[in-house]
Structure 1
C-alpha cells in the first residue's frame, strides 16, 4: 500500500492472523502518511513501513499545501532539511546542533527528492539512510567560515 494523500491505517487480516501468531502491531495496524508505504512480509506476517520509491511534493497531491522553494543560498543545513520535510511530508532525523554551521548553496528545483538528499549530504560531508519511514542523516558537522 502506497499513500499519496491523507492517512491510511493498514492491518493484517484476521483470517491470516488466526493461522499464525502475529504481533499486536500487525493486528492493530500501522498508520501511513503521504509518501509512506507498507509491505506485508508474508513469511513473518509482518508489516514493513518505509518510504515510497519516488516521493512526490505534497503540493502536487493536495491543493491546500504550500509550495516550497528549493533554491538555497548559504542556507544552514537544518533549514534545508526542514524544507524537504515540509515539502514532501518526510521525517528527517539529524543532529541540529552539530549541523547548524553547515551551509548549503544550490538550486534543486527540478531534482528528484532522493537526489536532493544525495547532493545536500555530499556537500556537507554527511550520509543518509532510510530506516522504517524516516531518513537518518549522519555527519561530522562543519567548521564555520572565517
Structure 2
C-alpha cells in the first residue's frame, strides 16, 4: 500500500470511529415541559426589532458591551424578549467581563440546550423553552455553585424590576 492509500484508509477509519460520537453530540438536547408557541417569520418580524429577530430567530450574536442589561444589577427577573417567559433571576447574574449579560443558572425548565458546531468546536447553545428563541451559549467557566456561565445576548432579554 502506498502512502496516499494509507492516508485515505486512515481518514476513512477515523471518520467511522468519530462520526457516531459527533452525531450523538449534535443531537444532545434538554427538553422542558413548557407549552410551546410557534409563529411564522412574518409574525415574529411584527413583534421584534430587527436586532431581536436576528438573535432570537436567526441565532445571531449582538456585539459585546452593546446591551444596557450587561451592567443591570437591580433586583428582578430577566424575561425572553420574544415571548415573555421568565428565564433568569437577578440573583444568578454576575459580571463575567465578556460584555454580555451572564448568569450561573436559568430558572429551572425554562431553557433548552443543544450542541452547536458553527465554530467547528462543539458549544452548547440554549434557547427559550417556550418560543425557541436563541438566547446564547453556556460555558463551564462560571462561578459556584454551578460553575456554569450562561452568556446571553442582551437584546434577547427584557428586565422586569422587582
TM norm structure 2:
0.26
Structure with the greater alpha carbon radius of gyration? 2
Structure having the higher strand fraction is 1
